[in-house]
Amino acid sequence: MNVARTLIGRDEIAKRAAAMGAQITADLKRHSHGEEHPRVVLMPILTGALVFTADLIRHIPVQMSIRPVTISSYPGTATTSQGANIHGAVPTDLKGAHVLIVDDILDSGRTLGLLRRVIAAQRPASLQIAVLLNKNKPGGRSEEVEVEYSGFEIEDEFVVGYGLDFDGYFRNLPDIGVLAPS
């Protein structure tokens, strides 16, 4: 498997991450206005959100804790969602917190739909979702999910790089690209 072409280059990603961070920071300040010690919890979905989160958080200069959760939906070489599974514990102390879920990509909607429901049930003070990529699904998503921040809209094709994998590989590529058909 090889990357056929670059879809979004590293400079464009960096600019967008900075702009998203600025907007998220402004919104967090608005949502927590008047709270003396707002509790901000950033929740990256591993492993795909690893790279984006590392860049994004450096543009959100507020006191925060980082509480990753692991959710998988693509066992092995599958390139379509197989349903979302949460692995391990999800934080249970989010009542009153300002939670920002971060993921690499919104595809079928199952991953973010599941986590949004699980977190919302804890009554956080605010709950937002940031995704780097938003896949255009002409036939609609398995689950429609409200996403407050979205970096780039892309066509319905399988992408890798900047955290996104195929069968566990390609996450370390600095640009986002499309795989050559095999």
Catalytic residue list: 107
Strands 40-46 and 69-72: parallel
Does position 113 interact with Mg ion (CB under 5 A)? The reply is: no
- Please choose which of ligand IMP, Mg ion, none residue 110 contacts, taking the beta carbon within 5 to 8 angstroms, the exact cut-off set by kind: ligand IMP
Q: Taking the complex as a whole, how short is the minimal distance between the CB of residue 103 and Mg ion, in angstroms?
A: 6
From residue 94, alpha-carbon distances to 46, 58, 78, 81, 152 in Å are 19, 23, 33, 28, 29
H/E element, 4: strand 3-8
Q: Which stretch binds ligand IMP (CB under 6 A): 24-32, 92-100, 115-123, 154-162?
A: 154-162
* Residue number, 43 or 105, with CB nearest to ligand IMP: 105
- Asked if residue 55 binds ligand IMP (CB under 6 A), the reply is no
Total residues at the site for Mg ion (CB under 5 A)? 1
Task: Identify which of 151, 146, 113 has the alpha carbon closest to the alpha carbon of residue 132.
Answer: 151
Looking at 21-29, 45-53, 91-99, 127-135, which segment touches Mg ion (CB under 5 A)?
45-53
C-alpha 117/C-alpha 28 separation (Å) is: 20
Residues 46-105 that bind Mg ion (CB under 5 A): 48
For ligand IMP, the binding residue among 42, 100, 105, 176 (CB under 6 A) is: 105
Q: Positive or negative, the Cα torsion across 125, 45, 144, 153?
A: positive
